[in-house]
Amino acid sequence: MALWNALRIANVQISGDVLQVVLEVIATIGILRLFDFNPRRDPDFAWVLLTRLVMMLGIYTVQDFLQFYMRDAVKAPHPEQQTTNFIIILSLTSLFSALGAGWLSDRFGRKRMVYISGCFMALVGLIFIVTQSLPIILVAGAIFGIGYGAYVSVDWALVADVLPSHKHYARDMGVWNISLSLPQVIAPIIGGFLIDYFTRTGNPILGFQLLFAMSIAYCLIGTVTVRFIRGVKN
């Protein structure tokens, strides 16, 4: 409230999107404090939260702007239908990869599966940067589905291994879910700003390329941070 009053006194104009992010972050901090989240006491749990938050930023950065990419960059004749086709392909491959990755993570370790799945999703961002060919983009949907399904499957197993309290599983899972909801607010705002800016300057493809470069960075950072989780299999 003090920050809000200070901004009003200073005549600072805040857009609705920025205000939404600020309020979401404030609410998140409040919930973490209320639910006794302590990164120093539970470092593995904190690393799992950070890993998932960053990976989800990478996922939603692609997902939220896919239809616009189909329309403005790929120039697909029916962008809505092609976006649906992409999602169908992604969903089918993610179903099979989720089943396989869960079994493999029990045998070979959680971290290895996160490394592999993160690289698959980062690869899709690279494909989107270098080509706007519709058939290749649809193939990339299958690759993304393999990575996404594997990551989601292993991510649940990962957090189950590091939950900090045996008495408060539901509370801790609620805290963990923040790492899913917060990126859904942040990713569209950052991406929307980029796309709007470069569309106005007459170079929408460059905007999408920067957007997917961000997605690659998110996925790689989320992959690397898994190595700091000490209480799970390699």
The full set of domain ranges for the chain reads: 16-228
| pLDDT digit string, tens, across residues 59-110 | 999 888 999 999 999 999 899 999 999 999 999 999 999 988 888 888 888 8
* CA distances, 189 to each of 64, 104, 186, 198 (Å): 10, 36, 6, 14
> What confidence score (pLDDT) does residue 130 get?
94
Task: Decide: 105 and 157 in contact? Cβ < 8 Å.
Answer: yes
CA-closest candidate to residue 121, choices 179, 71, 57: 57
Q: What is the pTM of this model?
A: 0.82
State how far the Cα of 150 lies from the Cα of 95, in Å rounded to an integer.
9
> What confidence score (pLDDT) does residue 148 get?
94
Tokens linked to 228: 């700091």
CA-closest candidate to residue 129, choices 205, 66, 72: 205
Q: Considering Cα of 219, then 30, then 177, then 164, what sign does the dihedral take?
A: positive
Q: Which CATH class is domain 16-228?
A: mainly alpha
In angstroms, how far is CA 177 from the centroid of its own chain? 13
Alpha helices in 109-168 (DSSP H): 110-130, 134-162
Query: Which residues does the chain have with pLDDT short of 50?
Result: 1-4, 6-13
Q: Where do we find the tokens 């989780």?
A: 229
> What confidence score (pLDDT) does residue 121 get?
94
